[in-house]
Structures are given as C-alpha cells and as structure tokens.
C-alpha cells in the first residue's frame, strides 16, 4: 500500500534566498509538496526540487553544509525525478565562472558562464523559450509553442547535449535541460504565471509516473 508520504515532492530548503516560493507553487497545484531542512526528512519522496538564488559559491557551500547535497546526489543516482531551478540548475554542473575553485555537483559536464558581453546583467525579464531541434522537452508538454518564462540571472550553463531549450539574450544561452530523470530550468517556473505552473505540473506528473503513483 502506498502511504501519503510516498507521493511527496520535497523542496530542499538549505537557507539560501526565498526557497519557499517553489514550494508554494507546487502546493497551489495540489501536489503533496513539503519543504525539508534535514536529509532524513526527504526519505520516501517521489521527486526532489532544488531551487536556488544568488551566488553559485555561497549556494554550493550552503547546500553542502546543510547535508542536503546528499539528498540531491541520492535522487540523481537512484533515478528519482529531480528538478533544479535557476542556481539549482547551475549547481548540477562542474563549476561556475562566478565562483572559481568552488565545485558543483558534476552531474552535467560543463561550466556555467557569465552572460554574453554587451548584455545587461542580470537578465531580469520575460524571455521566450526556443526548443532545441530533435530534443523534445517533456517539461513543456502541453504548453503553447515558444512559451514565455521569467528569468533573473547573470550566469547560465553552456549549451550542451542536455540542453532542450534556449533563449536569446545577446546570443543563445541554455534555458532548460533534461537528461533522463534530471530536469533543470534557468528560468523561474514558480514566477512565470500559468505557463510556469504548467512546467511544474509536468514535473509532478513525471515524478509520479516514475514512482508508479497518482500525481495529485
């Protein structure tokens, strides 16, 4: 028998910025979502969300010191649905130009780079997602073509094999990644209105399907 806690999406609260906004958006959708501050409280979750705002280095250090980096690593390693948001996406990579010498999780190859020269930094605006040809993104399934999402960032991952959507900001930059059960958005779905909620709803459905339980 599946217990109520075995349908939970956990949002990792490691003390950086307003991490509760992603949790509130998931609850608004009707998902069984909860904030966790201790690794043991994440046991049994069908999905893990890693939000993030601010500097890469400070976020990486806070995630490690909280012990929640082990929850993130366990989810990635065991096949549990995983979603990194903004700096949470960046932490999946090997490192960032923003914080030389600070390691990311290394789940994805590559380095997070400063936004292209000549652009206003940070990018604080709505921008349109452009799908990468031949790489259908499950996160935007059912959404209108070329949806607009809200971005707040000064750095972004390099475009690579896991990139499923880009946006144009002085050049092509990574807006979203999917690699198996690991998803990531450089934009903030929780701040992107109805379409952003659609991305989160797709993640909840995806997590539930992988775990074999009802999503909502």
Report the SS3 class of residue 119.
coil
Token pair for 19:
């991490």
Catalytic residue flag (residue 3): no
Catalytic residue flag (residue 172): no
Catalytic residue flag (residue 86): yes
Whole-angstrom distance, CA of residue 98 vs CA of residue 205? 34
Residue 9 and residue 31 in contact, taking contact as beta carbons nearer than 8 Å: yes
Token pair for 182:
């690991």
Whole-angstrom distance, CA of residue 207 vs CA of residue 63? 22
What residues contact residue 198 under an 8 Å CB cut-off, 6+ apart? 140, 142, 143, 147
* Angle at 33 (CA atoms; ends 140, 191), nearest 5 degrees: 45
Query: From the candidates 167, 178, 188, 205, which is the catalytic residue?
Result: 188
Cis preceding-peptide flag for 92 (omega within 30 of 0): no
Query: From the candidates 23, 86, 153, 205, which is the catalytic residue?
Result: 86
**Torsion over CA: 58, 60, 63, 65 (sign):** negative
91 DSSP assignment:
T
132 DSSP assignment:
P
By annotation, the residues acting in catalysis are 86, 188, 190
């Amino acid at each position: 028998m599946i217990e109520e806690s075995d349908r939970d999406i956990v949002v990792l609260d490691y003390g950086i910025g307003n991490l509760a906004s992603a949790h509130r958006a998931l609850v608004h959708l009707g998902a069984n979502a909860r904030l966790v501050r201790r690794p043991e409280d994440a046991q049994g979750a069908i999905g893990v969300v890693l939000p993030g705002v601010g500097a890469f280095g400070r976020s990486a250090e806070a995630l490690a010191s909280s012990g929640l980096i082990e929850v993130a690593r366990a989810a990635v390693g065991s096949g549990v649905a995983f979603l990194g948001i903004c700096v949470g996406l960046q932490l999946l990579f090997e490192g960032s130009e923003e914080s030389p010498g600070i390691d990311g999780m290394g789940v994805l190859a590559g380095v997070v780079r400063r936004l292209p020269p000549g652009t206003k930094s940070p990018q604080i605006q709505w921008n349109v997602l452009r799908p990468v040809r031949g790489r259908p993104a499950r996160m935007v399934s059912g959404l209108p073509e070329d949806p607009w999402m809200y971005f707040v960032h000064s750095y972004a991952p390099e475009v690579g094999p896991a990139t499923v959507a880009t946006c144009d900001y002085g050049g092509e930059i990574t807006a979203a990644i999917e690699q198996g059960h690991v998803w990531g958005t450089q934009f903030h779905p929780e701040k992107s209105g109805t379409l952003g909620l659609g991305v989160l709803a797709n993640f909840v459905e995806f997590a539930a399907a992988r775990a074999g339980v009802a999503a909502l």
